[in-house]
Amino acid sequence: MTKSRLTVFLGWCSVLNIGLLCLSAVFLIVLGDLVRPLHSFLLSMPESDLSVLYANWIAGFKVLVIVFNVVPYLALKLTKET
């Protein structure tokens, strides 16, 4: 795989993952009251604890996207073509 193909691949991975991250955050904000009872039942935990769980999940996903998609993409874009 050439450097240019890898750069394009990582760029699209970044776009898709950031889109999924934003969509997940919006869904949790907009539909949070609808899914909290279901998640509370499935995870056997009180609804009051779910906000922390949601925030941790979004934060963890954001870190993974940045570390494994955005940083390698930027590193490839900033290096000179040889």
**Rounded Cα distance, 27 and 63, in Å:** 19
User: Which pLDDT does position 82 carry in this prediction?
Assistant: 58
pTM assigned to the model: 0.86
pLDDT at 58 over 90: yes
Gap between the Cα atoms of 21 and 27, Å rounded: 10
- CA angle 16/62/37 to nearest 5° reads 95
Provide the domain limits for residue 15. Answer: 3-78
Q: What integer pLDDT is reported at residue 1 of this predicted model?
A: 83
Residue 74 pLDDT > 80, yes or no? yes
CA distance 19 to 48: 27
- 80 falls in which pLDDT band (50, 70, 90)? confident
18 pLDDT above the threshold of 90 = yes
pLDDT, mean over the chain? 94
As separate numbers, helices (DSSP H) first and strands (DSSP E) second, the chain gives 4, 0
* Contact assessment for residue 73 and residue 8, using Cβ atoms and an 8 Å cutoff: no
> What is the number of domains present in the chain?
1
- What's the CA gap between 47 and 56, in Å, rounded? 15
| Position with higher pLDDT, 82 vs 42 | 42
